[in-house]
Copies of this chain bind each other. A is one copy, B any other.
C-alpha cells in the first residue's frame, strides 16, 4: 500500500507531526533508522508512544538489508509500512537512495517532512537565506587530516555568507584492528564537540595558509537544538576553544563578515544570555 518515510524532527518522540503519527498508526511494520543520529529518540519510548513495535534499522540494514525489506513491502498489497528518520527524510543521501529503491520497485512512497538542523539553525537568529554551502568536519587522526572542508568556509566568508558546520558522528564503527581480525565489535559512539571542531578549523586555516578567520570572526555554537536542554551561545571563534556546550549533538556556525541589524542583535543577545534558552 504505502511506504511512509517520516521525519521525526530534532527533539524527542513528541516532535513527529500529527500527520506522521496518524500514518505510523496505520502501519504493519515500523523501522527506525539509527545510522545517522538518534540521540533524542529512544526506541522503547517510541514503541510505548505508538503502541507498536519499532524495529531498529542500523547502518548495516540501511546499506544491505533494506532491499529485502522493500521486496516484502512491494508484494504486500494490504499493509502500510513506515521508515522513521531523525530530522527530515531527505537530509541524508541514504534516504534519497531508499526513496529511489522503493519507487523503482513500484512501491507508493509518501514523505512526511519535519525540521532538521538545516532550517532549525535559524534559531540563532541568522537568516537562513544567507547560509552558503554546508560543511562537515570529520575527526582528524594522526595520519588523516582532511582540510578539504575548509575552502568552502572561506568561499562563504568571501561571499559574505554564513556557514553551517556539521560535526562528525561515529556510530557503530568498527576499529581498523577489529576489522582486520574480522571481529564485529562496535566502538563506543563518538560525537565531535564544538571545541574540537574549532581546533580543527583553526588548524586547517593555518595549514592551508588562507588567513580567512581571526579573533574577530563571529560564531554561534548550538547544542541539542530542539531539545529541552537546547543551548545557543554566540562569541568570537577563539572563545569557543574554552566553551563547553555540554552533551551532544553540537553544531557550529561561522558568521558572514557583516551581520544584518537583527542578526547582530541576536548575536549580542546570545552573548549576554549564555544560560539555557528553552
Interface residue ranges, A against B (CB under 8 Å): 7, 9-19, 21-22, 88-91, 93, 96-97, 99-100, 103, 108-111, 113-116, 118-120, 122-123, 125, 127-136, 155, 159, 161, 166, 225-226, 260, 262, 265-266, 269, 273, 278
**A128 contact from B90, B100, B129, Cβ within 8 A:** B90
Question: How many angstroms between the C-alpha atoms of A131 and B156 in the bound complex?
Answer: 12
Inter-chain contact A159/B134, CB cutoff 8 Å: no
Contact B133 A130 (CB under 8 A): yes
B15 touches A110 (CB 8 A): no
B129 touches A134 (CB 8 A): yes
Contact of A262 among B88, B93, B128, B166 (CB under 8 A): B93
Q: Which B residues lie within 8 Å of A123 (CB)?
A: 90, 111, 113
Does the CB pair A125–B96 fall under 8 Å? yes
**Complex Cα spacing A24 to B97, Å:** 36
Docked-complex contact A128 and B134, CB < 8 angstroms? yes
- Give bound CA distance, A171 to B118, whole Å: 27
Q: Is the CB of B278 within 8 A of A108?
A: yes
Q: Is the CB of B122 within 8 A of A91?
A: yes
**Interchain residue pairs with CB less than 8 A apart (26):** A9-B17, A10-B113, A11-B19, A14-B17, A14-B19, A88-B115, A88-B122, A90-B119, A90-B120, A91-B122, A96-B262, A96-B266, A100-B125, A103-B273, A109-B278, A110-B278, A113-B119, A115-B119, A116-B128, A118-B118, A128-B134, A129-B133, A129-B134, A129-B166, A130-B134, A133-B161
